[in-house]
Structure 1
Amino acid sequence: MTSGTFGIWSVIPLIVAISLALTTRKASLALFLGVWTGGSIYHYQESTTLLADIFTDLGIPAAEPLSLVLGVFVAGIWGLVQSTDWVVASVGDSIFNMQIVIFCFLLGSAVAMIWRLGGTHAVTTWATERVDTKRKAGLAAWMIGLAMFFDDYANSAIVGTTMKDISDKLQMSREKLSYIVDSTAAPVSTLTLSSWAAFQISMIEAGYSATDLTTAETPSSFMIFLQSIPYNMYSILAMAMVVIIVVSGRDYGEMLTAEHRAATTGKVTRDDAEPMQDVNQELGTPNLEDPRLRVFIVPVLALVVSMVAGVAWSGYSSGAEFYDVIINADYASSLVIASVIMVATTYYYAYRLDLQPIGESVETSIEGFALMIHAVAILVFAWAISEVIVALGTGEYVAGYATAFLSAELLIVVVLLVGSFMAFTGDSWAAMGSLTPIAIPIAWELTGSHTMVAVVVGAVFSGAIFGDHTSPISPSTVLSATFTGADLIDHVRTQIYYAVPVMLVSITLLLVWGYGSPLWGRSTWAAVALLPVGILLLTGIVYVLSRFDARRKGIDPTTAWTVEQTRVSETSTNDPRHIEHEQPLTEGGRVENSPDTD
């Protein structure tokens, strides 16, 4: 059976994977079952045809009905074999995916070395004297995330590694830190010159090549990208939402429960949570005799500087302009090389400061690889799900229905929603690669306006990021949970409460912009003017929902962030998560004894 002929059945593997992941909280198992379901569907018709032929040849009565029933079992076995092929192909046939796997393992090695050498303890001690509230910690994570705009994977690794122990010491839940990291990393990468932007610019060129425009009539893809930025409203408002949540100190939904748990019990994760990595538990006690701040700072800087240098080197050619360098750079290879240099820097300090012998450093690196096994397994299964989606033609099936009858105004929203669905399958770049070359010719055909092309480009970006933020099989979501040490499903379940309102506000603003064109035309400045309105709407939503949910649960929506009610124990020098705390008060002034009232 060929791709694109499975109809509604093509959506089933995705439903199985997502629903099982959210309900069982076992992401690896859920993803594998989703891949297996896809393999079974892929081979079901072939199985029934094969059985019907065999039964007919043997003269068995009711051959066709019998083959339909028994075909399920044969397809299940055949699908299991096919699943193995897809899992292997998801890494073996993709240089990019293999580079990301290597990057993850090397980052695990670097994290383990920094921990064992006492660098993490040193930076935690230093930061505790300066970052002494959750609000400051949240803003620090957000600002570092903005600075690491060049790649979302490197962003998550750097910010998560830097802030995890600091946030633990301040009793910020891992779910909250993971949300801050995830909702900053990918969004800022879509708004700046980054690996995301380079890929999308190339897709813009592909989209224009499918129109009837001549080369002279085709605008610069880079200029279309710049013009699309105000219309990438989800990404902009997602970053604004982080600031609203952090500054206001208000939470709602499962994040309120998580923050209340962390503030009242000191537990930064649930009792039965499965953190993507737990350095404290898996690597033991670090070097506390002579912790050096440089052991943390220099390797992180080495990663950043090496990454930027690698991008410049790989993208440069004789006579190349800055734009050409950004477009032609090899970001994945640069990540791998930068992570190697980061690991080498930790080895240098281990030797130079006589902190541990080379043999012990090698053992530490191997332990660091082990830290990443869970994350890499989920990444591989997530990529395999993407193989399933391609084989079953899920994207084409959804897009075919979504683009049947469109006006220019509705096209924006449809592109946004289709992009969200395609990215929800686990690969936002695949969503951009598939949707952008389709959406651009449609936008041009409907309107003949380059501004509308920029609008749909921004909508594709927004949809891709929203799909990432709500999917437990998205690589960027997996890595955000990994480097912050959060439980993956807990991260998704808490973040979705904030992602959905941002998406709804973004859709509203884009509809207002589109249907308000008789008043202001297709003006980019009108879109810019709508963004502050969106921020005000989100502020009101956070205030209303936090008040409502806190009353429903019987707790103060800001209790978890009250600085005066939480103090760091001076005696807890070895475990940054051990914190003495006073019982927080509810709005009525009573002591709240229940740590988790959800």
Structure 2
Amino acid sequence: MPAETYGVWSLVPLLLAIGLALITRKAALALFIGVWSGGVIHRYHDSIELIESSLGGFDIPGSGLLSQLLGVFLAGIWGLTDSLQWITESAGDSVFNMQIIIFCLLLGSAIAMIWKLGGTHAAANWATNYISTKRKAGLVAWGLGLMMFFDDYANSAIVGTTMKDISDNLRMSREKLCYIVDSTAAPVSTIALSSWVAFQMSMIDAGYQATDIAESDVPSSFIIFVQSIPFNMYSILAICMVGIIVVTGWDYGAMLTAEHRAATTGKVNRDDAEPLQDIEGEFGDPIAKDPPLRVFVVPVAVLVSVMIVGALRTGYSEGAGLYDMILEADYAAALVVAAFAMVATTFYYAHKYDLQSVGESVDTTINGFNMMMTALTVLVLAWSIGEVVAVLGTGEFVAAYANEFLTPEIVPIVVLVLATFMGFTMGDSWAVMSILTPIAVPVAWSLTGDHVMVSVIVGAVFSGAIFGDHTSPISPTTVLSATFTGADLIDHVRTQVYYAIPVVVVSAILLLVWGYGSPIWGRSVSAAIVLLPIGVAVLTLLTYGLSQYDTKRKNVDLSEVRLTHSTRAVRSDGDGRPEGEHSE
């Protein structure tokens, strides 16, 4: 088994990549070094054996030490070859990954075209009349995130693209917008009818197959999934936390610093930030200063509508109902078609209003591809870490310790913590679910013989996976959220973690209360539903206390942070200075 071969060394590439990313803020470099270190570890023993066999016929003093030194050198070269192969495979061998790459390229082109045609300025002008405060902008972004439940990638792309210039115009930091987008993408998708649900149900089935239950007695995976929703407490409370922060404006931690910077200086990104998308820096001023609003609205509407129709079409089969079509849909394929339709719509408006020739539009489209290269590099390297995880058996190594000290009361917390650690280090919620759910389900059943406890464990797996995803700079969802909001990836992780940690702590406490309170209310789903509003109340009080403490510690006036500036003078690269301002 890989886990037995590499042991604790299987954690090194992931921890190295994450640590270097947080320290250097160079995500691509950190991820590449992490992948490369995985190749070195993978080939170290083979290299040592090869060197020892080659030197075996020579009587060389200190040959053991020499073999180790030469083995490290050879492993570095051999491992680099493996690393490049993993990167190539992550980009090209997976149809899904390639679809996401094409989608990002096309969306980058559409964003570039809308900017060049003046669509984003038209949206900012319109929003000035209707979205006049940060609170309203945050509520709109939050609401859009709740509506785009069908796919987390589409959620990030549509909400980030739609709200970026509007929030810039109101001096909302890119970190804040990215937090709103990221915390309503995967959490919403994991509790609603989406591509996630079909995958989650398949993992539940896999878990039951590992038990001794007769097939006729295995409950519907959909029923178990529905029962697990109240126990997926991190996802539910993360969505509520966004609402608390947006409505109250009680920022704290690194986010308070970012919001204060944006409000007082107009810099929506810090001076030395490296946003994964910088459209104004790439394309300069738009051609038309005052085009019709439809130049912005219609392409976005085309993206959403074609995405929905295309997804349902891919999920259609004879006799299939709407529910079956949603679960069976190929969302990645639908995203590609929708993004292409969006680009075609921008070409139409460029011709209709005589803003660009076809040749100039093609040039803008290609430049839009280039704009996405940094984000795609990080994304491909994040996928490559997944290859390292699979080869070194990281998931199996971590999961192997789950059965050593479990009781029915603490098993949900152990699973939550385990899923959190795996999600953070692996950066892939689906990978965590695929590894841990088939293991956790039979453990829950063997401890209690109760299907409700299986639902609890499933919810704990989902919660931990999403939290780990939210705090990991190697998560594809985190990368895409930063990409489509134009935020610095590491800044996004640093600011979001201050809000994610209280949510997961409260979730863990609620699961403990539920577990140890079972003699009172039994193992009931209704008890978890009752506990959730209590969790929201606790988060509200905690957020207020942390905000009050941090504003005093940093000597920041929250009224300044909430100050609204609605003017086009704030440019999307964050360097502009608003000309007019008014208080909320």
In structure 1, the partner of 2:62 is: 62
- 2-side partners of 1:195 and 1:152: how far apart? 9
In structure 2, the partner of 1:568 is: 566
Give the CA deviation at 1:535.
0.8
| Bigger mean CA offset, 10-19 vs 217-226 | 217-226
- 2-side partners of 1:349 and 1:57: how far apart? 75
Verify the 8 A CA contact 1:403 1:414 in the aligned structure 2: no
In structure 1, the partner of 2:475 is: 474
Give the CA deviation at 1:146.
0.6
CA-atom RMSD, angstroms? Answer: 1.8
Q: Which amino acid is 1:463 matched to? A: G
Change (3 A) 1:428 1:144: same
In structure 2, the partner of 1:499 is: 500
Q: Which amino acid is 1:274 matched to? A: E
Give the CA deviation at 1:136.
0.7
Q: 5 Å matches for 1:165-244?
A: 165-244=165-244
Give the CA deviation at 1:347.
1.5
Verify the 8 A CA contact 2:124 2:568 in the aligned structure 1: no
Change (3 A) 1:78 1:309: same
- 1:408 correspondence with 2:399: no
- 1-side partners of 2:3 and 2:556: how far apart? 52
Q: TM-score when scaled to structure 2?
A: 0.96
Give the CA deviation at 1:234.
0.3
SS of match in other structure, 1:285: coil
- 2-side partners of 1:575 and 1:11: how far apart? 37
- 1-side partners of 2:546 and 2:201: how far apart? 38
- 1:363 correspondence with 2:363: yes
Change (3 A) 1:509 1:301: same
Change (3 A) 1:212 1:572: closer
Map Cα deviations across residues 274-318 of structure 1 (whole Å, 9 max, x no partner). 011011111111133441211111111111111111221111111
Verify the 8 A CA contact 1:4 1:394 in the aligned structure 2: no
Map Cα deviations across residues 505-546 of structure 1 (whole Å, 9 max, x no partner). 000001101110100011111101111111111111111111
Verify the 8 A CA contact 1:4 1:392 in the aligned structure 2: no
- 2-side partners of 1:531 and 1:443: how far apart? 22
Q: 5 Å matches for 1:305-384?
A: 305-384=305-384
Q: TM-score when scaled to structure 1?
A: 0.94
Q: Which amino acid is 2:23 matched to? A: T
Map Cα deviations across residues 194-237 of structure 1 (whole Å, 9 max, x no partner). 11112111211222222222332121111211111111100110
Q: Which amino acid is 1:455 matched to? A: V
Map Cα deviations across residues 61-102 of structure 1 (whole Å, 9 max, x no partner). 232232123321121111111110111111222111111111
In structure 2, the partner of 1:30 is: 30
Q: Which amino acid is 1:443 matched to? A: A
Give the CA deviation at 1:160.
0.6
SS of match in other structure, 2:172: coil
- 2-side partners of 1:312 and 1:207: how far apart? 28
- 1-side partners of 2:157 and 2:529: how far apart? 31
In structure 1, the partner of 2:270 is: 270
Q: Which amino acid is 1:345 matched to? A: T
SS of match in other structure, 1:58: coil
Give the CA deviation at 1:48.
1.2
In structure 1, the partner of 2:437 is: 436
In structure 1, the partner of 2:247 is: 247
Q: Which amino acid is 2:521 matched to? A: W
In structure 1, the partner of 2:519 is: 518
SS of match in other structure, 2:211: coil
- 1-side partners of 2:291 and 2:408: how far apart? 60
Verify the 8 A CA contact 2:302 2:342 in the aligned structure 1: yes
SS of match in other structure, 1:513: helix
- 2-side partners of 1:37 and 1:314: how far apart? 40
In structure 2, the partner of 1:552 is: 553
Verify the 8 A CA contact 1:142 1:184 in the aligned structure 2: yes
Verify the 8 A CA contact 2:161 2:485 in the aligned structure 1: yes
Runs of 4+ in 1 over 6 A off after TM superposition: 570-576, 581-584
Give the CA deviation at 1:114.
1.1
Map Cα deviations across residues 139-161 of structure 1 (whole Å, 9 max, x no partner). 11000111111111111111111
- 1-side partners of 2:317 and 2:80: how far apart? 46
| Bigger mean CA offset, 357-366 vs 303-312 | 303-312
- 2-side partners of 1:521 and 1:489: how far apart? 43
Give the CA deviation at 1:569.
4.5
Change (3 A) 1:575 1:272: closer
SS of match in other structure, 2:269: coil
In structure 2, the partner of 1:419 is: 419
| Bigger mean CA offset, 163-172 vs 299-308 | 299-308
| Bigger mean CA offset, 355-364 vs 199-208 | 199-208
- 2-side partners of 1:18 and 1:571: how far apart? 37
Q: Which amino acid is 1:219 matched to? A: P
Verify the 8 A CA contact 1:263 1:581 in the aligned structure 2: no
Q: 5 Å matches for 1:36-75?
A: 36-75=36-75
In structure 1, the partner of 2:537 is: 536
Give the CA deviation at 1:387.
0.7
- 1-side partners of 2:514 and 2:459: how far apart? 13
- 2-side partners of 1:575 and 1:185: how far apart? 24
SS of match in other structure, 2:351: helix
Change (3 A) 1:304 1:513: same
SS of match in other structure, 1:272: coil
- 2-side partners of 1:393 and 1:481: how far apart? 29
- 1-side partners of 2:511 and 2:336: how far apart? 39
- 2-side partners of 1:394 and 1:552: how far apart? 41
Give the CA deviation at 1:574.
10
Map Cα deviations across residues 234-266 of structure 1 (whole Å, 9 max, x no partner). 011001111111111111111111111111111
In structure 1, the partner of 2:484 is: 483
SS of match in other structure, 1:554: coil
Map Cα deviations across residues 311-349 of structure 1 (whole Å, 9 max, x no partner). 211111112233332332211111111111111121122
Verify the 8 A CA contact 2:121 2:289 in the aligned structure 1: no
Give the CA deviation at 1:461.
1.3
- 1-side partners of 2:493 and 2:119: how far apart? 30
- 1:295 correspondence with 2:279: no
In structure 1, the partner of 2:458 is: 457
- 2-side partners of 1:299 and 1:50: how far apart? 59
Give the CA deviation at 1:572.
6.7
Q: Which amino acid is 1:561 matched to? A: R
Q: Where in structure 2 are there 5+ consecutive unaligned residues?
A: none
Map Cα deviations across residues 558-596 of structure 1 (whole Å, 9 max, x no partner). 530134xxx434767999953137799xxxxxxxxxxxx
SS of match in other structure, 2:410: helix
Verify the 8 A CA contact 2:31 2:382 in the aligned structure 1: yes
Map Cα deviations across residues 102-130 of structure 1 (whole Å, 9 max, x no partner). 11111101111111111111111101111
Q: Which amino acid is 1:509 matched to? A: L
Give the CA deviation at 1:2.
4.5
Q: Where in structure 1 are there 5+ consecutive unaligned residues?
A: 585-598
Q: Which amino acid is 1:472 matched to? A: P
Verify the 8 A CA contact 1:264 1:581 in the aligned structure 2: no
| Bigger mean CA offset, 219-228 vs 26-35 | 219-228
Q: Which amino acid is 2:64 matched to? A: E
Give the CA deviation at 1:557.
3.8
| Bigger mean CA offset, 90-99 vs 52-61 | 52-61
Fraction of identical pairs, as percent: 63
Q: Which amino acid is 2:280 matched to? A: N
Verify the 8 A CA contact 1:402 1:418 in the aligned structure 2: yes
In structure 1, the partner of 2:448 is: 447
Q: Which amino acid is 1:512 matched to? A: V
SS of match in other structure, 1:89: helix
Give the CA deviation at 1:421.
2.0
Verify the 8 A CA contact 1:415 1:459 in the aligned structure 2: yes
